Chains A and B, each alone.
Chain A
Amino acid sequence: MIPPLLDPAATIAAALLVPFTGTLLVLLCGRWPNLREAVSLVTALGLTALVYSLLGPVLAGARPTLTLWEVIPGVPLAFTVEPLGLIFAMIASLLWIVTTIYSVGYMRGNQEHAQTRFYACFAVAILSAIGIAFSGNLLTLFLFYELLTISTVPLVTHTGTDEARRSGRVYLGLLMGTSIGLQLVAIIGCWVLAGHLDFVPGGLLAGHAEGWPVLILLALFVFGIGKAAVMPFHRWLPAAMVAPTPVSALLHAVAVVKAGVFTVVKVVVYVFGLDLLTATPGVSWIAALAGFTILSASFVALRQDNLKRRLAYSTISQLSYVVLAALILAPLSVMGAALHIMAHAFGKITLFFAAGSLYTAAHKTHVSQLDGIGWTMPWTMGAFAIGSLSMIGLPPTAGFVSKWFMLGGAYQAEAWAAMAVILASTVLNAAYFLPIVYRAFATRPAPAADPAQAHGEAPWPIVLALTLTAAGSLVLFLAPDAFLALAAQLVGGAP
């Protein structure tokens, strides 16, 4: 563990300033690619160090707070580091390092254009993710939530093709439409009911509302947080797959989508409070919708031949695990939700890295093209296999840990339907991931007709990155202590 560098409040400020400065420096260094990418990497390292230095104090029970000026009377721009946010920030910042390494290989390997814009937007997106993670009230959260949407639009439309434009339209329309159309209304509703917007352990709305307004607000939040991709507002995620792979990997497997489910969990725990929701009839209907999303997205994923699209639908399904687990409302399942943010992040980023690696080295994008590729790209496909295990929730991967807690919570709350959904989808996960692994290793590749098409592994930064994340999935199965402790604090466990 890294000793605290600064006092906690200053660390929060620094954690926001570092990516901000990084953005500016990237823009300034646009002409010198090596320097630019070094800046990105140093920024990511610095940010990670800062975020991890907060782990000690938070585990010890501290809740570092940074309150800036009041944006509107009574509602300041405020940041508080609590366990859930720290989990999210730790994952986002750590994986940013890995992704930066990966990006260098990918963007250069594919000779992408406008790389400076790419790195700058990336840094802003991470800044937003950190802002979301550490936000101390709904207004601050919403501010960074929208900043995240806006900063990722140029990344989604990066290629500038007609398809990218169409996807950009879906992406922005759905994310901004739901956030302004539903989430904002919910936030203002909370403001009217409670008079403030601070996250309060036990629930901001506790004692201010009950019955149907609570249910309506919950529905507005769950659907309004479009980044959580609960059906019917999930279409933006497959659309976003048109972006370069590092974007799909970090943003659409980690930062953006996790910001969504993180917000859902945060809202459930700190805005409503588990007690209030338990006392509110009808919450199970919204949970049922998440369950429906899990299953139907899995079925859709089964039918996708394009690898990235299959991963995207898998993400939609996995995100709803988190929503469902949070809405089971049992302490264990909420812990499971928090842990699944972490577990899915490592697993899915590995899978995306592998997809990008296949594209860079072999220009293969479809599942049906992958016959025997495990023999030419063993590292890539080995990591892919580990990622798949984590998605299914099998040991020895992190996915097992989170699924264990979710099932435990479902048992605790006697939510048998939820339990059935989780188990059924586990089977489905296996059905759409294992054939890929099988195809890659068990079949022999057709002999290349053209020797020019022969290829080996992807560039080393790519291989390094995906090896690291796959290893992460394993390590977090063996030693999830820090995350477990944080998740336990989230549901009121003693520090």
Chain B
Amino acid sequence: MLETVLGLYNYWIVIVLMMAGFYTVIVRGNLVKKVVGLNIFQTSVFLLYITMGTVEGGTAPIVDAGADLYTNPLPSVLILTAIVVGIATTALGLALTVRIRESYGTLEEDEIIEIEDRMDGEV
């Protein structure tokens, strides 16, 4: 039991982060906090990939005469791409947040919904 918990500690970290991020996205009403939650959620996935590529005792995957066991470089490379995607998403999300704040004067979801309901009623 202890071994399951400690031996797979990296996965536990991933799961905790993932759930924290997911919870933030779903529950928080503030649009910026949602973006932050989304970021945490994505980061947990990055960690998932990177830890799965690690080989115990392996070194960084740089060809060197002294090393004969390397960490799998592929997940890291993949995650590099995913990080770029994540940054783009964050940037776009925040840019939208700015524009929403300009249009609605608020970043709280319930207030925005209230304003939108009024807009629907007006027409």
- Asked if the two chains touch in their complex, CB atoms less than 8 Å apart, one says no
Contacts from B to A (Cβ < 8 Å) = none
Contacts from A to B (Cβ < 8 Å) = none
